[in-house]
Chain A
Amino acid sequence: MAGVRALALPESIDELQQQLARQHYVADRALSVSAYLALKLKRPLFLEGEAGVGKTEVAKALAAALGTELIRLQCYEGLDINHAVYEWNYPRQLLEIRLLEAAHAIDRQAAARQLFTEEFLIKRPLLRALERTGGQPPLLLIDEIDRADEEFEGYLLELLSDFQITIPELGTIKAVEPPVVVITSNRTREVHDALKRRCLYCWIDYPDFDKEYQIVTAKVPQASEQLARQVTAFVQELRTEDLYKAAGVSETLDWTAALVTMNADALDPATVDETLGILLKHQEDIQAVRGERVQTLLGRALMRQPGTPRETRP
């Protein structure tokens, strides 16, 4: 098992920030420091923030920057060990019993040994992240942990403290080199402190104008400078409105891409009205903004001089 190489970690915070920038991810200083320390101290990085601020993107960019595989576990209510860690392939096991039987080769003791081998094991993300025998340790992304049940958090806590998994039929599997762990949460509920205490915490907010403009130009390079500037300014204005769900960065990017497809070079009220559904996902929000409000917001957005700071939603 000597095949696992330790990851080549960035030398400094600045280097990490540049590596992320090369992956088209615009990381602010606080995030870079947290990520750098998480790598250095070998602790999970816990990212919290509203939906659509780019938490999952951090993990993707980090994996690419480190040049390692990303293993993603998407959490949902009812997620259990069978879907997070491992499961036996029952249909194949049953079939195997029949085959042994047909060959008159069945022997109770031997059958148990033969049936519970790695061949019949379905490996789920957590197991795959630990059992690496060659190459580099992967980056394990545990996405939207707030969707999973509290019971699962308890299990995860245990896993993250010693990076080993016990399968009764097979024995204990321990990671040679622990994976880099990134956990995200939309804060639909408070994740238990015991888990967060093991991690480095980073709150990711909606980006300010300059950062969001950089993100837009990095991710949708086809957009003209004028369009990118106007789109960013409009979304920034939109976030100051009192809405059920503010537009996230992913919505900004989708919207920009859509406008580029429509060959729009600048924003006008009619275009914004038509495409508002890409930015806002609640019918009430769309109704509240469409028409007059869009004109006001657009007016304010177009008035923004390049480089003037403006308050974003707190």
Chain B
Amino acid sequence: MTGDAFLRNLLLFGRLLRQNGLNVHPGRMLDAVGALESIGVGSRRDVRAALRALFVHRYDDLAVFEAAFDLFWRPSGGEPGGVPLWSLGERPTVVARPVRGTPVSLEHEQRSTGSDQAPAALPDMGVSAYSAHDVLRTKDFSEFSPDEIARAHRLMSGAAWRLGARRTRRWEPARRGAPDLRRVLRRNLKHAGELLDVPARRRRTKPRPIVVLCDVSGSMEGYSRMLLHFVFGIAHARRSVEAFLFATRLTRVTRYVSARGVDDAVARMGRAVVDWGGGTRIGESLRTFNTKWTRRVMRHGPVVLIISDGWDRGDPALVAREMARVRRSCHRLIWLNPLLGSSTYEPLTRGMRTALRVIDDFMPVHNIVSLDRLADHLRALPDRRGGGRSEPWTSKVRTRSTLRPHASGSS
């Protein structure tokens, strides 16, 4: 094999990786040539390790790299730099992010937006717009038509999702606070060392992160579509949002909610979740969250929103244990339950009852008014952990009269 052929193959391999989502830039290709010059191409194992070190930048890309390497640099007895399969039209098995499953319950929505129905409906609203909004604001999400979802989304997109700030360990100049010695010295040199002016500094603050865990099991069917719009809305109003969906298992959808348009994001989330509309296993899902994700997403004291109706087929003890663990690693734990909007609802399911013992807030999420209330609540969150818990739910679960402190709008 000539050096030329090898170089060409290396470039083709780089392109294959790029097509599969790896960040392989031209400078790196030069590095790779240099690296292989210094270690030689005698050992397949060493070449693999060298290219891996150069082309892979993150753990998630490792599997793609290994598959691509095996596919491209086949250890055949023949010409090692032969034409790779993919260039002959065969689809490599490693094409990034394969599209699996079908989006459940999203079809008619896509159709409606695809045929420009939503914009056409706008002028009709005319004078009655206000009252139309009003009805929409208190209407239960589960009764929304696709058209109403689009309108509700526009209503919601104006919502300001602000949370109390957390104090970081960085400093910024301030009017009052501890003296900022660096500036003190600089500024007072001109007074010949007499301290006339004492600039101060204080800890900088940053917005608190949010982690959303949303139930998309069968019993949430009527709400999940609208709630995904809600998750998308939060994610786009704020920078640090982690989103997970669960039914029988947990799926991280953070990277899908960053899609440009809401329909695209919702469709992608729908495809990513294989157990959409299935049963509910809150305990197991939370356990996955605690063992796999907590250390990565629960940094900087986040506010955790769990959105679920609490219908759980699993072991209530497991739910209790895992909920308690989530509670210990976050700043505030809020459970949003769409059923809480109904006047006859009582949190009697075992999963819900066990959860109530540890959560900070239990709030409805069934119409736009309830979302506004949530926004107000988040804005007013106390700095202290667990401060101002809205209700001592534990003792009052069984008493009907105290059940619905937040329920509103639907009455």
Contact = CB atoms under 8 A, between A and B. Distances in A.
Interface of A: 13, 29-30, 33-34, 36-38, 40-41, 43, 48, 76-78, 80, 82, 87-88, 90, 93-94, 97-98, 100-101, 106, 108, 111-112, 115, 149, 151, 186-190, 193, 196-197, 200-203, 242-244, 284
A197 B49 contact: no
Contact of A33 (B50, B170, B296, B299): B50
Sort chain B's interface into a size bin.
35 or more
Nearest to B295: A188
A97 B188 CA distance: 10
Give me the 9 closest cross-chain CB pairs, A-B, nearest first: A78-B169, A97-B193, A33-B49, A34-B53, A90-B181, A196-B57, A200-B53, A30-B49, A78-B170
B46 A284 contact: no
Interface string B35-56: 1001100000110011011101
A186 B296 CA distance: 9
Interface string B57-87: 1110010000000000000000000000000
Interface stretch (B23-31, B224-232, B350-358): B23-31
Contacts of B50: 33-34, 37
Given A34-B53, A40-B35, A187-B296, A203 B291 contact: no
Contacts of B325: 244, 284
Residue of B53, B57, B182 with most partner-chain A CB within 10 A: B53
Contacts of B185: 88, 90, 93-94, 115
* B-side interface mostly: helix
B54 A200 contact: yes
A201 B56 contact: yes
B170 A149 contact: yes
Contacts of B296: 187-189
A93 to B, nearest CB: 6
B6 interface: no
A10 to B, nearest CB: 11
Contacts of A188: 295-296, 299
Interface of B: 23, 25, 28, 31, 34-35, 38-39, 45-46, 49-50, 52-54, 56-59, 62, 168-171, 181-182, 184-185, 189-190, 192-193, 290-291, 294-296, 299-300, 321, 325
A43 B34 CA distance: 12
Contact of A94 (B54, B62, B168, B193): B193
A219 B368 CA distance: 62
Given A149-B170, A202-B53, A196 B58 contact: yes
Contact of B39 (A13, A94, A108, A243): A13
B90 to A, nearest CB: 28
Given A115-B189, A203-B62, 11 more contacts: A33-B53, A37-B39, A37-B54, A40-B34, A88-B182, A90-B182, A108-B190, A111-B192, A189-B299, A190-B58, A203-B59
A29 B170 contact: no
A5 B98 CA distance: 52
Nearest to A28: B49
7 contacts: A29-B49, A38-B53, A40-B35, A43-B31, A98-B193, A115-B185, A201-B57
Contacts of A149: 168, 170
A147 to B, nearest CB: 9
A140 B16 CA distance: 34
Contacts of A202: 53
Contact of A242 (B31, B170, B291): B291
A201 B62 CA distance: 10
A74 to B, nearest CB: 14
B53 to A, nearest CB: 4
Contact of A30 (B52, B193, B290): B52
